[in-house]
Structure 1
Amino acid sequence: MPRSLRRSSSFGVLAAVLSAVLSPAAAAPTREEIERSVKLREEWQYLTREIAWPAQWTPDSRAFTYRKTVEGGFAFETVNADTLAKTPAFDHRRLASELTRVLGRPVEALRLPFAEFRYEGDRQVIAFYLDEQGWRCSIVAYSCARQREAGRPRGFGVVRDLSVLADNHPRVAPDGREEAFVQGDNLVIRRNETGAVVQLSTDGSAGDFYDPETIAWSPDSRYLMIYRVRPGYQRRVVRVEAAPEGQIQPVVRSQLYPKPGDAVDVEQPVLFDVQTGRQTMIDPALFPNAYELSAPRWRLDGRTVAFDYVRRGHQEVKIIAVDAASGKAHAAVTEAADTFVYADRRFAHELGRSGDEIIWASERDGWNHLYLIDGRIGHVKNRITRGDWVVREVLRVDEAKRQIWFAASGMDKGEDPYFRHYYRVDFDGRNLTPLTPEAADHTATLSPDGRFLVDTYSRVDVPNVSVLRQSSDGAAVATITEGDISRLTAAGFRPPEVFSAKGRDGKTDIWGMIVRPRDYDPAKSYPVIENIYAGPHDSFVPKQFWPFGYHSGGDKVIGMQALADLGFIVVQIDGMGTANRSKAFQDVAWKNLQDSGFPDRILWHKAMAARDPSYDVSRVGIYGASAGGQSTLNALLFHGDFYKAGVAYNGCYDNRMDKISWNEQWLGWPVDASYAAASGVDHAARLKGKLFLIVGEQDSNVDPASSLQVVDALIKADKDFDLLIVPGGEHSVGRSSGPIDYITRRQAEFFIESLQPD
């Protein structure tokens, strides 16, 4: 019996009967329809032509290269910036043959397993990333090799892996006369003329050692800076791979994995005068309780050395500058916040030879903007940008012309506030010049010489267009590619609908998109499924055209379309607590990860239902992966009266179990009650609705024990749920690797059973 008929009052029963007659529900999909839906991406992804990815310039600025869609797949094309002549970037067949050999699996010429590369040398070598590994391939001899990264790994950047030897090759001074390295945990130098070894430090030990990977020589070879390190906690996550490929017995795997609250490496910058042997400990009063210090970098004049400092808890960031002659340090610039300083928005450019001026990105007025800082005293000389909009990226700082090229969103009123546009502005804030006028989301790359930019723009309903522009004023030089989606449209593709509604404050627009079944009938009633990712580090509703992602757990349009075609309306929303709007918008997430923007999301759903009678808010499901998995579980824990079913992938369900870097950024340090408040383990007894947990056994991003701790808590609370553990599955299980079709089918069947009428 349809759930709508199970009402207590006679009036409710009558209303439900009338609703069922006037707005009939769709019949449940057959197994054949489900399997066809699972294959939708495979059927559609090669139907477009001339859809270009953002361009990469050659180092000499004479050409640029991009990937684009062609008959049968994708091809890389290089364009001469002066003549606009187009040629293949390399021999795709020969490269595919070599990758087939070295990878041990078939690689097709028009389906190479990378989306971008860079030229090295005289355009005879290309470099790219594949399976999170760096590769270099000669495109003369067509030979490829994986790049081995030298040095000691660090767990999430803050704890050195002491099981791996540090890279202790001698660091040669700029004048070539001396070289520095570590011997017996202490810093030494070798005079190259005589071979004599001179010990510069005597206070190093195994528990407080000098790290050779931090050695930095001054340009005049007189000074060097190095960090003395007191190691942090070597926490290791251990995973059992139950069904390794090619063998019967399981394998135990171990990973350095610092978690919130763990002790991080303590780094003490030490300055040495190589001529006199003087050793100066840099006073840590300016950088107490450091979460991390950047590698030391010498200014061009050799008079000062600088490093970046992030305080534990992420509420303060500084550039510390040290005078080489005296060893005295000062804060060249300081950024502080009551909540957090957003790591991904940090930008600094030290001007000239001495760093006396610094271009600095700051959210101090509530929006991310650029400032010109006096690096000698740390004060603002002048603002460069201002307004209720966000600087998203800095492309280029031209010190000679005192101009900046940058991307921003939200400047053009009446547009989607997430659309990026590009601009040029002078250091004093004058002559702000728009460079990309089309009402769309733009991604631009500047030529190294600063003359041109390649602007690739699109919307979810407008395929990619790439234009070569003058960087001075944005004037179009030539259209390079225009996407053709005629065959995709003929196959049934329809772009998603963009919709905005007011958030919890009654004023702020919350933006989302809607994907309907291809056989959508407005007279019918459809259950709704929300695809959620609510991490504070970004916004997630697609703004560009390319709709092809992986089905389960993905955030792309075709995966949502495949699910919608089974009788759902599928949506995605950016609620408060996500990035790329004001700081106040993002600050909602501070020590409040359980919020996930749900007050805004629920209002958005209700506003859509008020406009569209087919949108049934009595039957809303939700799915997401990683932080989206955590949000999915929390939807059923904290908003179970609204959300009725959820599929949660690889969630960080208790932030105390997850990586130190992401969680201390948003929940702070020390670990406090806010971690427990967001915990799906602590609140498991609150579960309402139907839950399907999916986890990759070998997740190296989120400790898979987090999922099993939720399972334990749900069992203890006597809660029913479904669980799928994927042997050998990584964090990307069901999205970019693993048994995608199987997991996609299981998710579809779960929602059909949970949300559609009997």
Structure 2
Amino acid sequence: PVPPRDPNAITSPDGTKAAFIRDHNLWLRDLETGAETTLTTDGIEDYGYATNNAGWVKRDSPVLLWSPGSDRIATFQHDGRGVGMMYMSTTRVGHPELSAWKYPLPGDSLIFRISRVVIHLDGPRVVRLQMPPDPHRSSTTDHVAGAGGVFLDVEWSDDGSRLAFLSNSRDHKHAQLRVADPETGAVRDVLEETEETFFESGSRAANWRVLEASNEVIWFSKRHNWGHLYRYDLSSGDLLGRITTGDWNVRQLLRVDEESRTLYFTGVGREPGDPYFQYLYRIGMDGTGLTLLTPDSANHTVTLSPDGDHFVDSYSTPVSPPVTVVRNLDGEIVIELERADISRLAESGWRPPEPFTVKARDGETDLHGLMYKPTRFDPSRTYPVVNYLYPGPQSGSVGSRSFRPSRGDKQAIAELGFIVVEVDAMGTPGRSKAFHDAYYGNMGDNGLPDQVGMIRQLGARHPWMDLDRVGIWGHSGGGFASTAGILRYPDFYKVAVSQAGNHDNRSYEDDWGEKWQGLLETYPDGTTNYDNQANQLVAENLQGKLLLAHGTMDTNVPAYNTLLVVDALIAANKDFDLIMLPNRGHGFGNEPYMMRRRWDYFVRHLLGVEPPVYEIGAEGRPVS
């Protein structure tokens, strides 16, 4: 009988076998017979093969990249020896259950290291790359594992004879492209990039490619303040030329047609209108022939066909529903597949959020956001304002510019009698490098100068916005930022709801703080370069109403972050509210109880009304 699919195994490209971890070693399972073979034998605790642990997230599945021929595996031996521990315990009757695992923090002398290897299935045999271990870093996220456990920043040649990869420095400022011989383990440096702040090789996916046939490298850089593609010589590492230019960003390189020497990629900021709308483009590798393939002014989600001759284009905006078409590679519509009908949604009284533009803290840069009003909005009334935010720096508050009938519970909060606003502040991605770098080294900024400025500008336009009654809320990084808002702008924000906040990034995962705040430095007077972001150090500023919430089993952002603020508030003799949700992880923000408490907190302290007794979802309706 065929064994059931193992969710903790990664199947080879030919579909005949799968790799998985057992007892710190990598094993192989024949998917036809079920026979199992060990591929490595010297893996031990804290020094195992393909270990999927970044501290803030860990899984039982491996991290690896199969070769196209399904005969080799690129992975690593994951060195956690000497790395600090994280501890949590469950809440239950009797003895609690302890969870303990390796979780490095900023400033630790030892973080995770990866010793790169290639495993050949013939034998099997392990070839170690001839180089020192790399820090556990990638150029696109705070893990070396992508979706499905794919080993990030690693690329096989089509015939499996060459392995290219990026070595990224601990502080994310330096990236080195290298090429290895899988047979011998010999490693050759090709090119490198250094940034003063942080280097990223793309938006959520790497934009570098090694082209064996032409002996070239397609490279991505923001060295000229915008994200663009460059062409390098694979042998010498010399720059051959720029491919894209201008005050806009290449977002994701989707296809390289080596035969026609053509690239297909998504980009943002080049067309008029919302600079976050994504479009598909084509360009020659020599930098000529740049062509827009999705002309409609909207956010385009593109899927290329397997044969590369067509693509599916689904386009929409926050206020207009999606239209899905098939286009050829000249951008011409071949067929319209679907046009969403939202007439019943509109008949129900639904209204979309309203896009707006304001100026950033510099008085020049446009910021883009969304406003939510009650469906029975009355311009003769005044409404308190609730500011939702997520400060990034890896994403922003607004999220996708595609159509969504509901964006969390923001419209629901507006229906309670509020104006809800969100804006992508400076310090978030998608714009220029300078825009993204705005508060590097000062995460306590959180984009708050732009959030406050946004509300003040909108208030000047709209007399129905009551700027004497302003609240703020967010989750995770937004929990960090909402607490910072009421503590750093106590005369502006009167109420804050803060969920699962990483209130001092010295108590959060190493990769995060060291990328956005820098390596931890302690000065002769005992202060550090992380003091400017620590919420507990400004707890004495609290004047308004603050609700803190955290899950006691949050393995992403440990609850100790919130308890640091709690301890400081107690020391400052401040009144505040606290919800500790037993046995909850990081994603409790939209469970019915937390949602109700969030709504009630704003109703009680901004509207000045005692909310009724109710239960969200009590009638069996979906709540998220």
Partner residue in 1 for 2:499: 649
CA distance in 2, matches of 1:128, 1:642: 53
1:562 aligns to 2:412 (yes or no): yes
Matched, 1:265 2:120: no
Change beyond 3 A, Cα 1:531–1:227:
closer
CA deviations on 1:216-263 (whole Å, 9 max, x unpaired) are 9999999998856654434332222214xxx77643333442222332
Task: Determine which of 607, 629, 632 is the counterpart of 2:457.
Answer: 607
Of residues 86, 111, 127 in structure 2, which corresponds to 1:237? 86
2:308 counterpart of 1:308: no
Kindly state the Cα deviation for residue 165 of structure 1 after the two structures are TM-superposed: 2.0
* Higher relative contact order, structure no. (Cα contacts within 8 Å, ≥ 6 residues apart): 1
2:265 equivalent to 1:398: no
Give, in angstroms, the shift of residue 595 of structure 1. 0.8
Secondary structure (helix, strand or coil) at the match of 2:512 reads helix
Cα deviation for residue 546 of structure 1 reads: 4.0
Instruction: Look up the SS of the partner of 1:442 in the other structure.
Output: strand
1:682 aligned onto 2:537 = yes
What pairs up with 1:738-753 in 2 under 5 angstroms? 740-753=591-604
Q: Where in structure 2 are the equivalents of 1:139-158 lying within 5 Å?
A: 150-151=20-21
| 1:252 paired to 2:98 | yes
Q: Give yes or no for contact 1:459–1:543 (8 Å, CA) kept in 2.
A: no
1:481 corresponding residue in structure 2: 338
SS at match of 1:656: helix
Q: What's 1:350 paired with?
A: 210
Output the amino acid matched with 1:744: M
Instruction: Report the CA distance between 1:685 and its aligned residue.
Output: 1.9
Whether contact under 8 Å (1:232, 1:266) holds in the other structure is no
Q: How does 1:47-446 map to 2 (within 5 A)?
A: 150-151=20-21, 164-169=23-28, 181-184=39-42, 230-243=79-92, 250-262=96-108, 263-269=110-116, 282-284=130-132, 291=137, 299-300=157-158, 304-322=162-180, 329-342=187-200, 345=203, 346-353=206-213, 356-413=215-272, 415-446=273-304
User: Could you tell me whether the CA contact under 8 Å between 1:127 and 1:135 is conserved in 2?
Assistant: no
Provide the residue aligned with 2:475 in structure 1.
625
Contact conserved, 1:548 with 1:559, CA < 8 A, in 2? no
Question: Which residue identity is paired with 2:359?
Answer: K
Q: Structure 2: how far apart are the matches of 1:182 and 1:238?
A: 30
Q: How does 1:588-737 map to 2 (within 5 A)?
A: 588-670=438-520, 673-735=528-590
Match of 1:448 in 2: 306
Partner amino acid for 2:541? R
The verdict on how the C-alpha distance between 1:695 and 1:218 changes in structure 2, with shifts beyond 3 A counting, is closer
Go from structure 1 to structure 2 and tell me whether the alpha carbon gap of 1:752 and 1:698 turns closer, same or farther (over 3 Å shift).
same
1:357, CA displacement in angstroms? 0.8
Flag the 1:400–1:479 CA change in 2: closer, same or farther, 3 A: same
Match of 2:429 in 1: 579
Rg (Cα) greater in structure:
1
Aligned residue identity for 1:646? A
- Equivalent runs, 1:19-30 vs 2, <5 Å: none
1:225–1:629 Cα change, 3 Å: closer
Amino acid at match of 2:571: K
Aligned counterparts of 1:381 and 1:616: Cα–Cα separation in 2: 57
**8 A contact 1:382–1:428 mirrored in 2:** yes
Q: CA deviation at 1:668?
A: 2.3
Q: Tell me how large the CA RMSD over aligned residues is.
A: 3.7
Deviations 1:58-82 (A, max 9, x none): xxxxxxxxxxxxxxxxxxxxxxxxx
Aligned twin of 1:74 = none
Stretch moving more, 576-585 or 323-332: 323-332
Post-superposition Cα deviations, 1:343-367, rounded to whole Å, max 9, x if no partner, equal: 65332111135x8211111111111
The TM-score, its normalising length taken from structure 1, stands at 0.67
Cross-structure match for 1:502? 359
Q: Distance in 2 between matches of 1:670 and 1:513?
A: 36
Offset at 1:210? 8.0
Query: What amino acid does structure 1 have at the position aligned with 2:91?
Result: A
Q: Which range is displaced more, 564-573 or 317-326?
A: 317-326
Task: Give the Cα–Cα distance (whole angstroms) in 1 for the partners of residues 584 and 604 of structure 2.
Answer: 25
Residue aligning to 2:612: none
Report deviation, 1:519: 1.6
Deviations 1:86-145 (A, max 9, x none): xxxxxxxxxxxxxxxxxxxxxxxxxxxxxxxxxxxxxxxx9999xxx9999xxxxxxxxx
Provide the secondary structure at the position in 2 that maps to 1:681: helix
Cα distance change of structure 1 residues 206 and 678 upon mapping to structure 2, 3 Å threshold: closer
Shift of residue 518, structure 1, vs aligned partner: 1.4
- What's the CA shift string for 1:654-683, capped at 9, x where partnerless? 101112232222122245533221111222
Contact 2:115 2:134 in 1 (8 A): no
Deviates further, 301-310 or 743-752: 301-310
How far apart, CA to CA, are the structure 1 residues paired with 2:471 and 2:79?
49
Q: Distance in 2 between matches of 1:615 and 1:433?
A: 43
1:463 to 302, 312, 321: 321
C-alpha displacement of 1:623? 0.4
What's the counterpart of residue 512 of structure 1? Answer: 369
Identity of aligned residues (%): 35
Shift of 1:411: 0.5
2: distance between equivalents of 1:488 and 1:218? Answer: 48
C-alpha distance in 2 between matches for 1:666 and 1:344 = 16
Letter in 2 for 1:703: P
SS state at 2:458 partner: helix
Residues 228, 750 of structure 1: CA spacing in aligned structure 2 closer, same or farther, 3 A cutoff? closer
Report the AA paired with residue 112 of structure 2: D
Distance 1:635 1:448, change over 3 A: same
Matched-pair contact (CA < 8 Å) for 1:388–1:410: yes
> Offset at 1:605?
1.1
SS at match of 1:517: coil
How far the C-alpha of 1:688 sits from its partner, in A, is 2.7
1:613 & 1:602 partners in 2: Cα distance? 16
Equivalent position of 1:65 in the other structure: none
The TM-score with structure 2 as length reference comes to 0.81
CA contact (8 A) 2:164 2:210 kept: no
Amino acid at match of 2:130: I
Residues 499 and 260 of structure 1, relative CA distance in 2, 3 Å threshold: same
Q: Give 1:754's aligned residue.
A: 605
**Is the contact between residue 696 and residue 731 of structure 1 (CA under 8 Å) also seen in structure 2?**
yes
Matched, 1:531 2:388: yes
1:565 counterpart letter in structure 2: E
Contact 1:271 1:282 survives alignment (8 Å): no
* 1:732 positional shift: 1.0
Give unmatched runs, 5+ long, in structure 1: 1-125, 137-146, 153-163, 172-178, 186-204, 550-555
Cα 1:481/1:271, change in 2 over 3 Å: closer
